[in-house]
Structure 1
Amino acid sequence: MSFFRFVLATPLSLLLMAPTAEAQEPERLYGPNPSLPTPQRGLLPNMGVPEKAPWNGDKPTVPDGFTITAIATDLMVPRQTIILPNGDILVAEGSGGGNAPQSRPKDFIASVIKSKGTTGVSGGDRLTLLHDENGDGSYEKSVFAEDLNAPYGLVLVGGDLYVANQDSLVRFDYQPGQTRASGSPELVTELPSRINHHWTKSLTASADGETLYVGIGSNSNITERGMEAEVNRAEIWQIDTETGAHKTYATGLRNPTDLTIQPDTGQLWAVVNERDELGPNLVPDYLTSVEEGGFYGWPYSYWGQNVDPRVKPENPALVESAIAPDYSLGSHRAPLGVAFSNDAVGGDFTNGVFVGEHGSWNRSDPIGYQVVFVPFENGEPAGDPVDFVSGFLTDDGRTHGRPVGVTVAPDGAVIVADDLTNAVWRVTRDET
C-alpha cells in the first residue's frame, strides 16, 4: 500500500496521536555554539500545535516591576507594529500565502495540525492606528489604510511610511499626528510572490534612512518544489528608497521573519526560522547579524557547514562559505519579532534584544509561545535568553496566544502583537 493510500485509510486522529518519539534535548540549546544532535528522519516528523484556550480574565506573565495590558483587542490577525513620532502605534494586520500546493501526504497532515493554532478571524489586509488621546494608557483604534495584501513589515523614514505586502513594497505619505492615509499607496517595487510558501515580508531601514532591507522566505522547507521555485527566495534584499532599485544583500536565510538595526553600530540583524523535519532538536532557529554578501547555509547546510543530506545535488563550495549564525534561540521556536531594547526599559532588560517566539508545529511538545530577552555585552549576544512575556501555554497543553512582532517605544514600553488572541499587549515598567 502506498503511503498516500495509507494516510487516507488511517484515521487522522491516530496519525496525530502517534508522532515519533521526542529525543532528549541537547545540553546546550542557546548561544553561539549550540549542541547539534544527530538528524532524525522517519515516516512522519514530530508534529503538534496546542489548541487555543481563552484567557478568562488572566493575562500573560511579565517580570516583577512590570505590568502588561491589552491595549487593543478584536483585531484582524495583527503581525508587526511600529511606534510613530507622536507615540501612536501602527499595526499591520493580514494573513497571506495559501497558494503552496500540498505535494506530500505529510503536507496535508501538517496543515491540519497547524490550523489548530490559528485564529478563526480573517486577515484584515489593513493598517490599524492605536492612539492614546489622554496619555493614560487607554488607546482608541481606527483604520489607517485598507485594501492591502497581507501587510507585514513596517518602517517609517521621515515622511515616508513603507509597508511590505506579501507581493510588493509600497509607500504612503505620512505627517505626524495623521490618523488616516491621505491616498492610495505608491508602488516602490514588486516582491517575489509566486507560491509564497513563506509569505511574510519583513522590513527595516538603514540608520541613515537611505536603504531598505526586505526579508524574503523560501518557497519550501528544503527545496522539495525544486530550485526553480527558490529564485529570489531565502534572502534579504537591499532597496534604494529613491529609485526602488534592489539587489541581493545576503542569501541562504531560510525565512528571515524580522529585521532590525542595532543602535549605535547601524548593523543589520535578523531572526530566522530554520528548516523542519530533522527532529525536535534540529535545526536551531537563530538571531544573527547579517553581512553584506554573506551566505547562511540554506538549503545545503545548517549552522555553518553541517550538510543537510536531503538536498541534491550537493554544493560543497557554497557550504564551505556558509556563515554560522551569531546566536541559537533553540529549535522550532519560530521567532517572528525582534527589537533592540533601550535605556528607558531599564534594569536587566536595558542592553539586548526582545524576540517574539510564535511556536512551531514541528514538535509534539510545544515550546516558544513567549517573548524572550537576549542580553548583549560589547555589542554581541551574551548569556541565555530570559523570559519577558510568558504564560501563554497552559498546564493542560493549550495556548492562550502566539506572539509575533515586538517593538520597543522611546519611553521603554514593549509592544507585542499576538495573532491568536488578536490583541496588542503593552508592557510598562511600574512607577517607583
Structure 2
Amino acid sequence: MPTKPNASLFAFALSFLSFVTARANAQPALLRGQDAFGDWQRDKPGTVRLIRPEDLPKPGATPSAGNVSRVVPRPAAVTPQVPPGFKIELFADGLSGPRIIRTAPNGDLFVAETRAGRIRILRAAVGASKPQVSEIYASDLNRPFGIAFFPGGDNPQWVYIATTDSVVRFPYRSGDLKASGSPETIVANLPHGGHSTRDIAFTLDNRRMLVSVGSYGNDGEGLGRPPGGLESWSRERALGAAWGYETDRAAVLGFDPDGKNRKVFATGIRNCVGLAIQPRSGAPWCSTNERDGLGDNLVPDYVTRVRENAFYGWPWFYIGGNEDPSHAGERPDLKDKVTVPDVLLQAHSASLGLTFYEGTGFPAEYRGDAFAAEHGSWNRSRRTGYKVVRIRLKDDVPTGEYEDFVTGFVVNDSDVWGRPVGVAVARDGALLVSEDGNGTIWRVSH
C-alpha cells in the first residue's frame, strides 16, 4: 500500500527549491570569450562579461559595417534599467549635449555642454532628485570637455578646463556659480582636429597635470617607420615624422600644473576619452576608443591603468602583439613592447567618461570599483554599447570583468534615445549619468 506523502516534507522541498532558484537567479550571468560578444538585445543590468586577448577573432572575420544610429526623442514613460535594489530617475533635462560631469568638493556639479561651448553648474540639496540651481559658469570656450579642480582636497583654488586645442583655468572659490574674469591659458597649443575630446586630471600629489589627446585618424593612415626606436618615438614625439597630424597624439601628455615641462606620459592609446585618477592607488586610468574597420568584434575598446612610458600599440598593434594589417611589417621592433590593457570591452562600444566609486550610497562591494559610459557603436552590424558599465576591481586591481549597470537607451535596431557620456559620483553617493542624445542627466541611487 503506497505511503502517504509527508505534507511538511513536501512543503520544505518546495521552499528549498524556491530558495535555490532565487539564489541562482540572483547570481549575475558571466559571459566569457566569444559569448561576451553581443548586441543591445542581450544587455541587462547584472550581466558580467570577460573578454581576453585570446578570444579575439582574426581581422576581417566579419565585414566592417556602417550602422549609424538615429537619435529619437525618449519614448513616453521609458526610463533606463538598473540592477535590483537600485532606483534611477531623471535628474535634469533640456541641456545642450551634456558630456563630462565633475563633482566639486562642495557638491556642485560642473557639466560640459561641449557643442554649446560652455560649462554649466547644477546645484542640488543632498539627496535631492532635482537640481535647485542651474547656472552657466563659463561660455565662449572651444569645445570644452575635461574639467578638474586644483589643488585636490576640500579647498581648490582653480577650475581647469580642457578644450579641444588648449587648457585654460579660472580662479575658484567654493560655491562660485560664475567664472571670475577671463580664462588664463595654461597650455596654448594642444594638437587639434580629428578626435576632439581632451580630458584632464591631476595626480594625487598635485605635481603633475595629465591631458589626454586622441589620434587624428583611425589607424595611423600614411604612417611609416619613424627614425629610431620606441624610446626615440616617445621621447622626441617622432610619430609625426611620417604624418605630421599625429605628433603628440594618441597619447596622454604630462605637464606641470602651470602648463610647463610638457612630456609624453604614455603612448599608443588611440583615443583616451575618459581620464581619471584611481583614488586609492593614485594610478591614472583611461577609458579608450580603439580603431574601427576590422570587423564586428575588433578592436576591443578598453578601460585600463596607464603606466608611465608604456606603449599600448596604436597604430601598429592592438591588444598586445596583434599586428594591424594596415601596418603589416612596418614596426616589428615594437611587437614585444606593447602593454596589454586591463579590461577589454565589446568592440565599438565607444567608451567615454570614467569615474571611481568611493561613496557610501551603494552597497559596500561597489566601493573602489569604476563606472564607464559607453556612447554606442556605429561600426558594428548589431548595435552595442549605449549603456553604463561597472568595472570590477579586487583589492584595487581590475579583474578584467565588467558588468552592465545602466541599460535601456536603445529603442530598436535603428533608433536610440540616449547616448551615455559622463559619469560622476554625487556628494550623497548617487551616480549621475549624462547622455547627449536627448540632453538629459540621470540619477542612480540605492
TM-score of the two chains, using structure 1 as the length reference: 0.82
The answer to whether residue 59 in structure 2 is matched with residue 39 in structure 1 is yes
Structure 1 Cα separation of the partners of residues 380 and 66 of structure 2: 5
The answer for the alignment partner of 2:130 in structure 1 is 138
Q: What's the CA shift for 1:312?
A: 6.0
Q: Does 1:321 align with 2:321?
A: no
The answer to whether the 8 A contact 2:271-2:288 is kept is yes
1:155 to 134, 139, 148: 148
Task: Kindly report which structure 2 residues correspond to 1:351-370, keeping only aligned pairs within 5 A, or say none.
Answer: 351-370=368-387
Contact 1:72 1:141 survives alignment (8 Å): no
Q: CA contact under 8 A between 1:200 and 1:216: conserved in structure 2?
A: yes
| Cα shift at 1:26 | 2.4
CA positional deviation for 1:397: 4.0
Letter in 2 for 1:54: P
Which residue in 1 is equivalent to 2:208?
211
Cα distance in 2, alignment partners of residues 289 and 193 from structure 1 = 23
Q: What amino acid sits opposite 2:122 in the alignment?
A: L
Same amino acid, percent of matched pairs = 38
Are the equivalent residues in 2 in contact too, given 1:78–1:93 (CA < 8 A)?
yes
1:257 matched residue in structure 2: 273
Conserved 8 A contact 1:125-1:151: yes
Give the structure 2 partner of residue 71 of structure 1: 91
1:108 alignment partner in structure 2 = none
Does the aligned pair in 2 maintain the 1:276–1:362 contact within 8 Å? yes
Amino acid at match of 1:202: D
Which residue number in structure 2 is paired with residue 60 of structure 1? Answer: 80
Q: 1:277 to 1:375 in 2, by over 3 A?
A: same
Aligned-partner Cα distance in 1 for 2:70–2:129: 31
Structure 1 residue identity aligned to 2:180? S
Contact 2:377 2:385 in 1 (8 A): yes
Please identify, of 58-67 and 274-283, the stretch whose mean Cα deviation from structure 2 is larger. 58-67
Specify the alignment match of 1:335 in structure 2. 351
Equivalent positions of 1:32-431 (< 5 A) are 32-33=52-53, 35-40=55-60, 45-55=64-74, 56-94=76-114, 123-132=115-124, 136-139=128-131, 140-157=133-150, 158-194=156-192, 196-224=193-221, 226=223, 227-311=243-327, 314-347=330-363, 348-382=365-399, 384-395=401-412, 397-429=414-446
Q: Aligned-pair distance for 1:59? A: 1.4
> Which of 332-341 and 410-419 deviates more?
410-419
**1:166–1:191 CA contact under 8 A, matched in 2:** no
Q: Does the CA-based 8 Å contact 1:49-1:364 persist in structure 2?
A: no
| Distance in 2 of aligned mates of 1:191 and 1:305 | 33
Contact 1:285 1:335 (8 Å CA) reproduced: yes
The letter of the residue matching 2:279 is: P
Give the letter for the 2:80 counterpart: P
Higher helix share: 2
Q: How far apart, CA to CA, are the structure 1 residues paired with 2:426 and 2:310?
A: 31
Deviates more, 1:227-236 or 1:64-73: 64-73
1:354, 1:34 → 2: CA distance? 25
Counterpart residue type for residue 315 of structure 2: P
Measured against aligned partners, the alpha-carbon deviations of 1:243-301 in whole angstroms (never above 9, x if no partner) come to 53311000000001111111221011111111110000001101111111000000100
The alignment partner of 1:310 has SS state of: helix
CA distance in 2, matches of 1:225, 1:192: 22
Q: How far 1:181 sits from its partner (Å)? A: 0.4
Q: CA deviation at 1:133?
A: 5.5
User: In structure 1, what is the Cα distance between the partners aligned to 2:262 and 2:367?
Assistant: 35
SS in 2 for 1:356: strand
1:172 to 1:394, Cα distance in 2 relative to 1, 3 A: same
Unaligned runs of 5+ in 1: 1-24, 95-122
Distance in 1 of aligned mates of 2:135 and 2:417: 25
Deviation at 1:134, TM superposition (A): 7.9
Unaligned runs of 5+ in 2: 1-32, 38-49, 151-155, 224-242
- Contact persistence 2:357–2:371 (CA under 8 A): yes
Cα pair 1:193 1:199 within 8 Å, conserved: no
TM-score calculated relative to the size of structure 2: 0.80
Q: What is the identity, as a one-letter code, of the residue corresponding to 1:303?
A: I
Q: Which residue of 2 aligns with 1:114?
A: none
| Aligned-partner SS, 1:257 | strand
Q: Matches of 1:209 and 1:32 in 2, distance apart?
A: 35
For the pair shown, which has the larger CA radius of gyration, 1 or 2?
A: 2
| 1:70 partner SS | strand
Figure out how many residues of one structure are paired with residues of the other and give that number: 375
Q: Is the 8 A contact 2:280 2:396 kept in 1?
A: no
State the secondary structure of the residue aligned to 1:320.
helix
Give distance in 2, aligned partners of 1:408 and 1:299: 34
